[in-house]
Chains A and B, each alone.
Chain A
């Protein structure tokens, strides 16, 4: 299976980011992982990428509950500057909240692909990787 080329991880809990990187390494999930513990920093990074026309991330993992700017606000702000440039970027909510209201809310955002509940496992990552094979191959062409 081919690895996801580039992955963006936004979660205010640095422990989660450590865990995800370790799992990804075991699973052979992504070639490059960029992580931020602040949504604002994550947004700045994406703006910069778009501005410099650098390679966009294939997948974004986004936590919901974060201080200052939370996951939902991140999505709103992203929509404000998002261009066709991010058309091939899939966004997954990765959160410890299993609250149904959050699940429903996520469905209202067209740019959100799926809603995943922590903790993340190797099995879950492999399924996701499989799902993205076609997209990865397409991207390589």
Chain B
């Protein structure tokens, strides 16, 4: 008892609506669970409209999943059961053919095959544009209509019982009493019932179905019959056969039940086809039946009729292969859907009969949509991960337990110039700088031995061209799913530029340090030089003071002598003054000579040459011959030259002339044998010159002063106070040494040692 409010039908069949409404029994079935069925997702629902007890208009207001088919089936059965018996028509507005024939066929095979037997005729609503499609796969009692209105009209044409009513005959309707209306309806319903009854028996497919059902029923009776042979109303022979048959059927039913219970425990749908490829047995999980619902109703049907064309076509090919190889084959099938679609794995296995001939095949179907989606997600995430790993600039690697590279990303090539393929399976150690190999090996061993959980180290590697590159190495153990170490995974970050910069910095620092050191050295030298300069300045001051005084003194004397010479009239006296003048000027001359020697020693570079001591001594005495008393002193010369002696001739001359002139000037002439002993001994290394006399000697109080500038023990006409100072300076210049021993009133001995320039190198001074 229901009515419709579907707009299409409402406008077209207002009259019927009004009749139903006037019965005073309106039901908004959308609020009634009996007439409204919601899909398992809760999102979509079907609405069923029943028109005049004979037409069910099924409207889909959403989409449903295959799992909902079973529930819809139950729902429809419930509706049909509530209707009075009679012909039944279905206006199917569930799956409009706007999705294409294949999609419709898929849906039809899952849905309509389950219902087609309920109805005398099914009108499939399809848009006009597609009405020309060759829908030859539709069951015999189905036809295509372009709209609900058309379907309804067709339906009405078949319904003779409803001819009493004229469409849109409002005036007539209005005149009718409630009694009349009810009567009309009842008549119509009765006609309906009759028509449906007739239809059922007139449809050939149904007849055989009924017969089949009858046989099954009889067998069921036989099995459930617990009568003994005696109780059966048949002959003994017959009853024996019957009992045998019953036992046999009993076994068969047992084994079938066993099989069914086994099949029930698995999720897969199992279909068994015979040699003629007709369905002979099936097991479809009630919740998960994929292609066929109530497949028991399709027994004997060829798979090509049973399955939608796409999968049937695939099956054709695979089946041929199975027949040829006698092996089980698999294929996957995708049911197109928005989103991911539905995926199935179809397993086809070869069946053979008792003598090994081909006996058909078994088809096992499993929905693998979720696995597929998971797979796709894994592949997508793997792809994403790969693309990240392949594009990063950091080297990412993985090795096995032996340290051989199992994976390394393309960044490796960028940095090392080695191709990835030529590096794989090689030990990572092969690429470590040879000097660091043992060390890295130790680190890796520690990781493998779980002695540490990671290592982080700056490390040198060698690239394909033998160039060193620096990396920041991060290694950690690579664990498999069970948590055991199967190798090493890690990253290498190129830090060569940083290292180079550090190196440059270090070098610069080193340079700076050495420059600093040099500066400090130079500073120290400068300070020393400054001190030296200060000393030299003071010395120079003293020198200028002394020299100017000593130069001026004889000059002043001479001027004084000139003064008194003017006054004096005595010629003899004047001659005496002239002698004194000469003395003064000689003294001055000697000073100037000494200053020249001093300057020469300080200024001139050392120039060495072969020295002939005998000639030199001779020259010196030639020059000293005007000295007073020179003829009264005995000069003994002893020269022993073991090797050529080279030195600076001018300097050597200065040294010797000073020592000898001192020996002559400060001799003691009031004794019988005044002497001067000159001893010269030269070898390859040096010369030792000794000048010894038995002269006045030197007071020991003055011994440490005799070599200082302008120091004089006594002033005589020819002393300048520079002689020994110049002597020592010159000896120093020649890197020699001078020693003096003296006893007052007994004599003095000077010993000078000078290196032989044949073996001694004078470094040029800065």
Contact = CB atoms under 8 A, between A and B. Distances in A.
Nearest to B721: A67
A16 B558 CA distance: 9
Contact of A18 (B555, B580, B714): B580
A26 B580 CA distance: 19
B712 A67 contact: yes
Given A67-B713, A67-B715, A96 B556 contact: yes
Contact of A97 (B552, B560, B584): B552
> Taking each of A20, A97, A98, which has the highest tally of chain B beta carbons within 10 Å of its own beta carbon?
A97
A122 B567 contact: yes
A13 interface: yes
In the complex, the 6 A-B pairs of residues with the closest C-beta atoms, listed nearest first: A118-B556, A119-B560, A19-B560, A67-B712, A96-B556, A119-B559
A22 B549 contact: no
Nearest to B702: A68
A12 B549 CA distance: 14
Given A99-B548, A119-B560, A12 B715 contact: yes
Interface in A97-141: 97-99, 101, 117-122
Contacts of A16: 556-557, 560
Given A26-B567, A65-B550, 11 more contacts: A12-B715, A16-B557, A19-B564, A23-B560, A37-B715, A65-B553, A67-B715, A96-B552, A99-B545, A119-B563, A121-B563
Given A22-B567, A22-B568, A97-B549, A15 B561 contact: yes
A66 interface: yes
Interface in B710-739: 711-715, 721
A67 B714 CA distance: 6
B583 interface: yes
Contacts of B556: 16, 96, 117-119
B712 A15 contact: no
Contacts of A121: 563
B561 A19 contact: yes
Interface string A54-69: 0000000000011110
27 contacts: A13-B557, A15-B557, A15-B580, A15-B583, A15-B584, A16-B556, A16-B560, A18-B580, A20-B560, A22-B567, A26-B564, A65-B549, A65-B550, A65-B553, A67-B712, A67-B713, A67-B714, A67-B715, A68-B713, A68-B714, A96-B553, A96-B555, A96-B556, A96-B557, A117-B556, A118-B556, A118-B559
Contacts of B557: 13, 15-16, 19, 96, 118-119
Contacts of A18: 580
Contacts of A67: 711-715, 721
Interface of B: 545-546, 548-550, 552-553, 555-557, 559-561, 563-564, 567-568, 580, 583-584, 711-715, 721
Which secondary structure dominates where chain A touches chain B?
loop
B525 to A, nearest CB: 32
A67 B556 CA distance: 18
Nearest to B562: A119
Contacts of A101: 545
Contacts of A117: 556
A19 B553 contact: no
Contacts of A118: 553, 556-557, 559-560
Interface string A11-38: 0110110111011001000000000010
> Taking each of A15, A23, A68, which has the highest tally of chain B beta carbons within 10 Å of its own beta carbon?
A15
Contacts of A15: 557, 560-561, 580, 583-584
Question: Chain A interface residue count: which class?
Answer: 20 to 34
Contacts of A68: 713-714
Nearest to A16: B557
> Taking each of A20, A23, A65, which has the highest tally of chain B beta carbons within 10 Å of its own beta carbon?
A65
A6 B549 CA distance: 29
A117 B555 CA distance: 12
A104 B556 CA distance: 21
Nearest to B587: A13
A101 B541 CA distance: 11
B563 A19 contact: yes
Given A66-B715, A99-B548, A13 B553 contact: yes
> Taking each of B550, B553, B555, B583, which has the highest tally of chain A beta carbons within 10 Å of its own beta carbon?
B553
A46 B130 CA distance: 160
A120 B560 contact: yes
A18 B563 CA distance: 12
Contacts of B549: 65, 95-97, 99
Contacts of A66: 715
> Taking each of B546, B549, B580, B721, which has the highest tally of chain A beta carbons within 10 Å of its own beta carbon?
B549
Interface in A64-78: 65-68
A99 B550 CA distance: 12
A16 B715 CA distance: 13
A19 B583 CA distance: 14
B206 to A, nearest CB: 155
Contacts of B559: 118-119
B4 to A, nearest CB: 143
A6 B560 CA distance: 22
Nearest to B544: A99
A67 B715 CA distance: 7
A25 to B, nearest CB: 9
Nearest to A23: B564
Contacts of B583: 15
Nearest to A97: B549
Contacts of B715: 12-13, 37, 66-67
B553 to A, nearest CB: 4
A56 B523 CA distance: 60
A42 to B, nearest CB: 14
B556 to A, nearest CB: 4
Contacts of B712: 67
B589 to A, nearest CB: 15
B563 A23 contact: yes
Nearest to B719: A67
A13 B405 CA distance: 105
> Taking each of B580, B711, B715, which has the highest tally of chain A beta carbons within 10 Å of its own beta carbon?
B715
A112 to B, nearest CB: 18
Contacts of A20: 560
Contacts of A122: 563, 567
Contacts of A65: 546, 549-550, 553
Contacts of B568: 22
Contacts of B564: 19, 22-23, 26
Nearest to A101: B545
A16 B568 CA distance: 16
B688 to A, nearest CB: 31
A71 B568 CA distance: 31
A24 to B, nearest CB: 10
A98 B552 CA distance: 9
Contacts of B711: 67
A95 B553 CA distance: 8
A65 B557 CA distance: 14
Nearest to A67: B712
A22 B560 CA distance: 10
B74 to A, nearest CB: 139
A65 B554 CA distance: 12
Contacts of A96: 549, 552-553, 555-557
Nearest to B552: A96
